[in-house]
Amino acid sequence: MKILITEFRQESNSFNPVNSTLEFWRQTGEYEGEDVRTQFHGQACAIGGFFKAIDELQPDAEVVCGTVMACQSGGVAEQSVMDHYLSRLMPQIDKALPLDGIFISCHGALMTTEYDDPEGEITRRIREKVGDATVIAVSTDLHAYISKTIIENANIILAYLTYPHVDYVETGFRVAKLGLEAIAGKSLPVTAWVPVPMIAPAAAYNTLKGAFRDIIEYGNALKASGEIIDFSFYQMQPWLDLPEPNSSVVVAAKDEATAKAWAIRLADLFYSKRADFTLSLLPVADVIARAQDASQPKPVILVDSADSCNAGAAGDNMAVALEILEKGKDLRTATIVNAPEAAKLAHELGVGATAEFSIGASRDPRSVSLTRTARVKSLHDGVFRQEGPAGRGMTQRIGRTAVLSIGRLDVVVCEWMAGNGDPQLYRAHGIEPTLYDLVVVKASTSFRAAYEKIAGVICEANTPGAASSDLKSLPFSRLPETIYPWQDDPSPEWAVTFTRTL
């Protein structure tokens, strides 16, 4: 048995005006061959899950490690990034043929300057090359945009079942297990896909509580009972300006009738919860007032999801910091911002120096910047390991980093923010969140996995940015306003498409 594994993973945001370049992608590194095993075997990622399944289920299989490229979320990727990936991958496939399987890890919500659905196009090109007999199994994020193209060219496709995402390894394992079983000739489940006409802000749901947890648990119960083999609920990343957007449901089952019937029932159930996937946002001033209330347990977490780099925003907005300096300068506050120039100046001046710094709007010209006298509190290389639970132990690199103090406000200034939901983004830079009154977290939901344990209260704030939760306020130009929340179709017609059979 011979299997090639590969990864091409980024989440795009159409409203970030700065395209993601190959240079930006390479911040996270690019691997192939044995370097992939060295870097990802045993790690908390989908590729780690592929390795785990192969080790446990088919230890004699020959594994060819194709190119692995992943990148922090950001603006639409330059086409040169996809072209580069394919220029590495396609010869690797040629050289490895014949292959029994290709296991692909992707996000699913990538856009390039030429393709709305690069993962679909890549899968189509791989299929064209390898023919019908090779099993193509795809692991995706729960926020993927799933297209008919990827469904019709893959045999197996599954997403994370948790949000905050804490099941990267498990998802890679689920995908690889079905792939290995299909290759071994035991079985290939029939996978049915049903698009659901809605999108929802990512901060409006999670699998820790509420309607979304309930439907995931329902799917898990169906799986546990043997009624279905596996499933995914896709909440499409809502900051993609696409002409045919959709959330969707995938069900893998033993036969076509079962897969189809359950995919429709789950799509119906998912869509019936659409009004639950909304949230009310607090004005920043109200969150500041809450942090000033002595009876309020601390820290107060101010969620600035609109500027979340995890959701592809620029992470360079000081709008919230400015308001805190105006209305809450008595508060011990921590925030973070992409401000490479400020970080560079801090490194030149050294620890303890005081100078005037211009901070913010380093990428998105619509972001707020501010100029203030600040003291350089500490300097860092920006390399840290996540504490998790999501991605525990994974290394993040945020470039040259410094902590600047403006009165009681501590600002982490860095080059490329990453790992936004993880407290180590602060802790690794000398900022212990539990010792602060107010902590700004630039993430939608991922942070809850760690922060719910240490927060006095979590406040979703109404802030400006490319990842705003107020979807109707965003400048969509291609997205048809015929889906929820723009239009509410009480009984949509469900269209079923099946993945490829062998």
Residues that bind Zn ion (CB under 5 A): 141, 143
Least distance from Zn ion to the Cβ atom of residue 107, Å: 7
Q: With respect to Zn ion, which residue has the nearer C-beta, 108 or 195?
A: 108
Residue found under tokens 């896909």: 193
The two three-digit tokens of residue 35, written as one number: 């370097």
Shortest-Cβ-distance residue relative to Zn ion: 143
What does the alpha-carbon distance between residue 357 and residue 345 come to, in Å, rounded to a whole number? 8
Measured from the Cβ of residue 141, the count of other Cβ atoms closer than 10 Å reads: 24
In the bound complex, what is the minimum distance in angstroms from residue 108's beta carbon to Zn ion?
9
Instruction: Pick between residue 401 and residue 420 the one whose CB is nearest to Zn ion.
Output: 420
Closest approach of Cβ 449 to Zn ion, in Å?
A: 12
Q: Which of 9, 143 has the CB closer to Zn ion?
A: 143
Distance of closest approach, residue 184 Cβ to Zn ion, in angstroms: 31
Q: Which is nearer to Zn ion, 335 or 444 (CB)?
A: 444
Q: Which is nearer to Zn ion, 150 or 188 (CB)?
A: 150
Query: Residue 143 or 363: which CB sits closer to Zn ion?
Result: 143
Distances from the Cα of 138 to the Cα of 103, 174, 192, 461, angstroms: 6, 10, 14, 35
- C-alpha distances in Å from residue 362, one per residue of 216, 303, 359, 464: 39, 21, 8, 16
Angle at 226 between CA 221 and CA 231, to 5 degrees: 60
Could you tell me the CA-to-CA distances from 477 to 189, 240, 473, 481 in Å, in that order?
A: 39, 10, 12, 10
Q: In the bound complex, what is the minimum distance in angstroms from residue 368's beta carbon to Zn ion? A: 27
CB of 286 to Zn ion, least distance (A): 28
Q: In angstroms, rounded to a whole number, what is the distance separating the alpha carbons of residues 233 and 110?
A: 18
What minimum distance in Å lies between the beta carbon of 201 and Zn ion?
Answer: 13
Strand order in the sheet with 401-406: 354-359, 370-380, 401-406, 409-414, 333-338, 438-441, 300-303, 457-460
Separation CA 185–CA 60 (nearest Å): 16
**Residue 78 has what DSSP assignment?**
P
Terminal alpha carbon distance of the chain: 16
User: Alpha-carbon distance 268 to 262, whole Å?
Assistant: 10
Whose Cβ is closer to Zn ion: residue 143's or residue 377's? 143
